[in-house]
Structure 1
Amino acid sequence: VENRHASKSLADYAVTLTVREDGRVISTKLLPHLRLAAGRDTVISLKPYLPKLKPGAEYLATISFTLPQAASWAPSGHEVAANQFALTGLAPQAPPAKTYPAVAVRDEATAYVLAGKGFQVSINKATGALTSYRWQGTEQLAAPLLPHFTRPLTDNDRRGWKADKKLKEWFTAEPKLQSLTLDQANPSRPSLTSTYSLIDGKTTVRVTYTLNGDGALRVAYALTPAAGLPNLPKVGMQCGIRRSYDQLSYYGRGPWENYNDRRYGADAGIYTQSLREFADSYVVPQEYANRTDVRWMQLANKQHAGLLVVADSLLSMSAWPYTEQNIQQARHTNKLQDAGFLTLNIDLAQMGVGGNTSWDAQAAPIEKYQLPARPYAYSFYLLPISGKKNAAALANSIKF
Structure 2
Amino acid sequence: DVRPVLTSEYAHAMGNAMGNFKEYWDEIYSNPRMLGGFIWEWADHGIFTTTKDGKRIVNYGGDFGDRPNLNNFCLDGVVFSDRTVTPKYWEVKKVYQPVLIELVEQKPLRIRVTNRSHHTGLSGYTIEWSISVNGEKREVHTMEPVSVLPGESFILNFQPDKSISSEGDIQLMVRFLLKEKTSWAEKGFEVAWEQFTLRNGLADLRNNGNTQRNEKIVKSVEGDMLLIGNDNFSMKWNMKVGTLLSLKYADRELLASSSDQSGQFSTQAYRAPVDNDRGFGNWLAADWEKNGMDAPVISTEETGWRKVQDDGIEVTTTKRNSYVNGSILTHAVYTISGDGSIDAVFRFIPEGELPELPRLGIVLSLSGILEKYTWYGLGPHENYRDRKSSASMGLWKSNVSDQFINYPFPQENGNREEIQQLILTDDNDSGVRITAIDNPFSASALHYLATDLAGARHSHKLKPRAETILSIDASQMGLGNSSCGPGVLTKYAVEQTEHRLRFRISGYKNR
Normalized against structure 2, the TM-score is what? 0.71
Deviation, structure 1 residue 379: 0.8
- 1:185 maps to 308
Tell me if structure 2 keeps the 8 A contact 1:103–1:187: no
Tell me if structure 2 keeps the 8 A contact 1:142–1:241: yes
- 1:163 maps to 284
Tell me if structure 2 keeps the 8 A contact 1:14–1:33: yes
Match of 2:269 among 111, 136, 149: 149
Deviation, structure 1 residue 169: 6.8
Q: Distance in 1 between the 2:381 and 2:462 partners?
A: 21
Deviation, structure 1 residue 165: 3.3
Report the AA paired with residue 86 of structure 1: T
Q: Distance in 2 between the 1:254 and 1:348 partners?
A: 18
Change over 3 Å in CA distance of 1:278–1:334 after alignment to 2: closer
- 1:295 maps to 420
Greater shift in the superposed pair: 108-117 or 301-310: 108-117
* Superposition map of 1:228-307 within 5 A: 229-307=354-432
Change over 3 Å in CA distance of 1:260–1:88 after alignment to 2: same
* Superposition map of 1:1-400 within 5 A: 1-46=113-158, 48-49=159-160, 51-93=162-204, 94-95=207-208, 100-143=214-257, 144-160=264-280, 161-167=282-288, 168=291, 170-186=293-309, 188-199=311-322, 203-226=328-351, 229-312=354-437, 313-355=439-481, 357-359=482-484, 362=485, 364-386=487-509, 388-389=510-511
Tell me if structure 2 keeps the 8 A contact 1:227–1:374: no
Q: Distance in 2 between the 1:208 and 1:269 partners?
A: 30
- 1:393 maps to none
Deviation, structure 1 residue 249: 1.4
Report the AA paired with residue 158 of structure 1: R
Deviations 1:202-261 (A, max 9, x none): 542111111100111111111123476444211211011111211111111111111111
Deviation, structure 1 residue 72: 1.2
Change over 3 Å in CA distance of 1:50–1:365 after alignment to 2: farther
Deviation, structure 1 residue 89: 2.4
Q: Distance in 2 between the 1:35 and 1:50 partners?
A: 25
Q: Distance in 1 between the 2:160 and 2:232 partners?
A: 48
Tell me if structure 1 keeps the 8 A contact 2:218–2:228: yes
Report the AA paired with residue 373 of structure 2: L
Tell me if structure 2 keeps the 8 A contact 1:207–1:221: yes
Tell me if structure 2 keeps the 8 A contact 1:230–1:373: no
Q: Distance in 2 between the 1:197 and 1:207 partners?
A: 11
Q: Distance in 2 between the 1:18 and 1:227 partners?
A: 50
Deviation, structure 1 residue 28: 1.4
Q: Distance in 2 between the 1:366 and 1:264 partners?
A: 16
Deviation, structure 1 residue 372: 0.9
Deviation, structure 1 residue 383: 1.6
Report the AA paired with residue 335 of structure 1: K
Change over 3 Å in CA distance of 1:363–1:384 after alignment to 2: farther
Q: Distance in 2 between the 1:147 and 1:351 partners?
A: 16
Deviation, structure 1 residue 32: 3.9
Q: Distance in 1 between the 2:176 and 2:310 partners?
A: 56
Identical-pair percentage: 23
SS across alignment from 1:325: helix
Higher-Rg member (1/2): 2
Over the residues paired in the alignment, what is the CA RMSD in angstroms?
2.2
Query: Structure 2 unaligned runs (5+)?
Result: 1-112, 258-263
Q: Distance in 2 between the 1:246 and 1:281 partners?
A: 18
Deviation, structure 1 residue 172: 4.9
Report the AA paired with residue 146 of structure 1: S
Q: Distance in 2 between the 1:203 and 1:285 partners?
A: 27
Deviations 1:359-396 (A, max 9, x none): 5xx3532211111111111211112234x33xxxxxxx
Change over 3 Å in CA distance of 1:151–1:80 after alignment to 2: same
SS across alignment from 1:142: coil
Tell me if structure 1 keeps the 8 A contact 2:344–2:504: yes
Normalized against structure 1, the TM-score is what? 0.89
Change over 3 Å in CA distance of 1:158–1:126 after alignment to 2: farther
Deviations 1:16-64 (A, max 9, x none): 1121101222121112422211111233333x13642222211111111
Change over 3 Å in CA distance of 1:326–1:67 after alignment to 2: same
Q: Distance in 1 between the 2:286 and 2:177 partners?
A: 46
Change over 3 Å in CA distance of 1:159–1:329 after alignment to 2: farther
- 2:103 maps to none
SS across alignment from 1:327: helix
**Number of equivalences:** 384
Tell me if structure 2 keeps the 8 A contact 1:317–1:347: yes
